[in-house]
Structure formats: C-alpha cells, structure tokens
Amino acid sequence: MIKVVVAGAAGRMGQESCRAVWRSQDMVLAGAVDTGRDGESLGKVAGIEDVDLKLFGDLETALKELKPDILVDFTNPEVVFDNVKLTLNNNVRPVVGTTGMSTEQIEEIKNLAKDKGLSGLIAPNFAIGALLMIKFATMAAKHFPHVEIIELHHDQKVDAPSGTAIKTAEALAEVRGNLRQGLPTEYEEIEGVRGGDFEGMRVHSVRLPGHVAHQEVIFGGTGQTLTIRHDSISRESFMPGLLMGIRKVIDSNELVYGLENLIFE
C-alpha cells in the first residue's frame, strides 16, 4: 500500500484528493495537513464519514510523525516552493498539483530531488484530457503557427495565466518559434485587451464564478480556423491523473515536471 499525506486538505483540490486516495485500493490516506486546522476532524473537513483522523496544522510535524511515501500538495503559489523543499528534505517524494512556481524554482527542486535521490512529480494539470489538448495543439501548430490561448477559471484562482496555459504556450513555442502575430501597428484602446504576450502569441485569462478549469487553443489559417477545447467540469476530473501520477512516482527515480512525461510515450 502507498502511504499518502495530503497538504492543503481543507481546500477544494485537497478535499477531492483525500477522497480519491481514501477510495483507492492500493493507497492509504495516512493523514492530512492544512494551516490553522490543527486537530480538526479530517473526516468532517473532507466529507468522508468513516475517516477517523485529525488534521495537522503544520507540514513538517506531519512528515516527521507519519513518514509517508508521498506528499500530495494542493496549497497555494506562495507556500508551495517551501513545502516541496521541506518534503524532499524529510526524504518524502512530492506529488505537486499547486501551480505558480517559477522555472527557476522548478529547476532548484529538480536538483534537490536529484541530490536526495528521490523521485517526484510537479503537474500543473492532472486532467488527462487537458494533456491530450496540449499534445493535439502541438501537432496542429506545425501547420497553423498563428494561435491564441484562452483559459477560463473560477474567480478564486490567484495566479494568471493558469499553469496549463503556460505549459501550452511553452509547447507551442517549441514548434512555431517566436512568431509575432497580428498587425504590427495594432494598439489597445483598453490596456491589456490583447492579453499577455508569450513569444509573439497571445494568452487570455478569464475569471468567472461558475467555471472550474477550461481552455481553448484557437488556430487561424488561410480561410479556416481550428479550435481545440478542454473542459474540466468538476474537480473529480483531476483524480484519475493524480492517482496515476502517485503510482508512477513510486516506480520512478527522478522528479518530473508534467504528468504527460510519465503517461505518454
């Protein structure tokens, strides 16, 4: 059995992760952490009736007492970097869903994992459909280099654009290069209306209640357009990928950025 602890357990993704790990046949939910929730019933917080565990309010205490195989992190962009370093320094493998870490921070974490001889995963999107969207978009960009990305999320999300939009833009840039799109003389009547610029392509972030996580990649060519769209309509959409990621990390010996590197050939 794979022993898992979840950090950010009282949050939207953390609760869903606790339920998914609890239900899985090959994992045991050893405990969970959320700041300021020390001693609260995990069963009540995560809505799992038969869990008789208390939340930890501090990650280091939980790691030292529970000694899990895997720490799942769904916290927030401000704390995730320190959480992951703490996890590795306690000889626990991290599986990280929290977005917002910089390329430099991810590189530092990869190096730390290597030094410690630990595997791990940083995955800005666990929805397998979203990973396929990026793969299909990368195929399309060879034929349609003119592209814009629109990502749509709930209005409680702190970072913009989404980690998935950044990953998509990075993957597309590898294929299309740095191609400046649009009219060279275009200007904005409202500041920011053309979105953010990533190597010449535009990225737009929509934040509205009623959304979970959605993204369109729109290609424009001569006399035609192509739209590739993915919708996560509930947070359960991330769970098959999360469980798959945990299993892959147990069998792996390096820390990987992107679930696609573990599940696609």
User: Which positions are catalytic?
Assistant: 153, 157
Write down the residue that tokens 């590197």 correspond to. Answer: 261
Query: CA 162, 166, 168 angle in degrees (round to 5)?
Result: 110
Region from 3-11, 64-72, 140-148, 167-175 binding ligand NAD, contact rule CB under 6 A: 3-11
Query: Using CB under 6 A, which of 5, 10, 71, 246 touches ligand NAD?
Result: 10
Q: Which residues contact 189 (CB under 8 A, 6 or more apart)?
A: none
User: Is 87 one of the binding residues for ligand NAD (CB under 6 A)?
Assistant: no
Is 25 strand, coil or helix? coil
Rounded Cα distance, 37 and 215, in Å: 33
Q: Taking CB positions, which residue lies at the least distance from ligand NAD?
A: 11
User: Is 257 one of the binding residues for ligand NAD (CB under 6 A)?
Assistant: no
User: Is 35 one of the binding residues for ligand NAD (CB under 6 A)?
Assistant: yes
Write down the residue that tokens 């060279």 correspond to. Answer: 184
User: Is 94 one of the binding residues for ligand NAD (CB under 6 A)?
Assistant: no
User: Is 134 one of the binding residues for ligand NAD (CB under 6 A)?
Assistant: no
User: Is 8 one of the binding residues for ligand NAD (CB under 6 A)?
Assistant: yes
Rounded Cα distance, 9 and 7, in Å: 5
Residues that bind ligand NAD (CB under 6 A): 7-8, 10-14, 33-35, 59, 74-77, 79, 83, 97-100, 123-126, 157, 213, 238
